Amino acid sequence: MESSNLRNFYHIQRREIIILVLGVCLAFSGKISGQALNRQFYEYDRFIHFGFTVGFNYSTLKYDYSPTFYNQTPKDTVLRVSAQGTAGFTLGAVCDLHLGSPKSFIRDHFDLRVIPSLCLTQRNLAFTMIDSTVVTKQIESAFVEMPFLLKMKSDRFGNLRFYVIGGAEYSYDLSSTAGAPVNPADPKIALYPNNVAYQFGAGLDLYFPFFKFSPEIKISQGINNILVPQNTVYTNIFSRFRSNFIYFSLYFEG
């Protein structure tokens, strides 16, 4: 069910993303021939550069059922669960280290990036009960994220360069209610604040006279279990939760 939500998001946004990427490529491909190189020594003239990023995210929870789900009593049976994501907002800073010696293959094709960010998002879980009622539990999160990523770049083609990116991320949820008491009348779903994930994605570097602009799509898959065990009908049926994110980001780097 979780993967179907991600697929639905992809199908909804696919046309806009493809149009954006093709439009950018066409705009630059028509100007590459005979065009002067912007920031020609961008990778060579310094060891480190900075920037900022803004973007959107889409997050869902990937879950595994516990044996309790298959052995429920009739009075509180949950027939099915649907993980529903919503669009969120991401804002961050960029610290990019140019690896290797100047004008070497490593310097021209590999960067190490640290991108401390604030990520606001919400995940919903819709529970369909045995009497056909649907109960929706909202989980709001404000993550402080610290991804460490290796950026692998293609050869530069005029003022355009493609790249892929991958690495690991640690994030802390400032909105976590892991230590809050449970309200029996309206039990919430609590998540642990610490989250570890691996990330991968791709993007375009577009060189302008005074800065570099980069649209990027990235996927983040959680590794650790973030479910807080609480003795309620809404948590007993699960054995673990993991966070899934899709990011669409715009980078501006000087």
Query: What's the chain's average pLDDT?
Result: 85
Write down the pLDDT at residue 73: 66
pLDDT band for position 21 (cuts 50, 70, 90): low
Helix count (H) and strand count (E) of the chain? 2, 10
Q: Is the pLDDT of residue 18 over 60?
A: no
Beta bridge partners of 112: 97, 150
Indicate the pLDDT class of residue 41, thresholds 50, 70 and 90. confident
**Model-level pTM greater than 0.75?**
yes
User: What Å distances lie between residue 155 and 28, 152, 158, CA to CA?
Assistant: 15, 10, 9
Q: Which of 64-73, 99-108, 129-138, 167-176 has the highest mean pLDDT?
A: 167-176
CB 98 within 8 A of CB 48: yes
Measured from the Cβ of residue 50, the count of other Cβ atoms closer than 10 Å reads 10
DSSP 3-state of 59: strand
Residue extents of the structural domains in the chain: 2-253
Which pLDDT score, from 0 to 100, does residue 124 have? 93
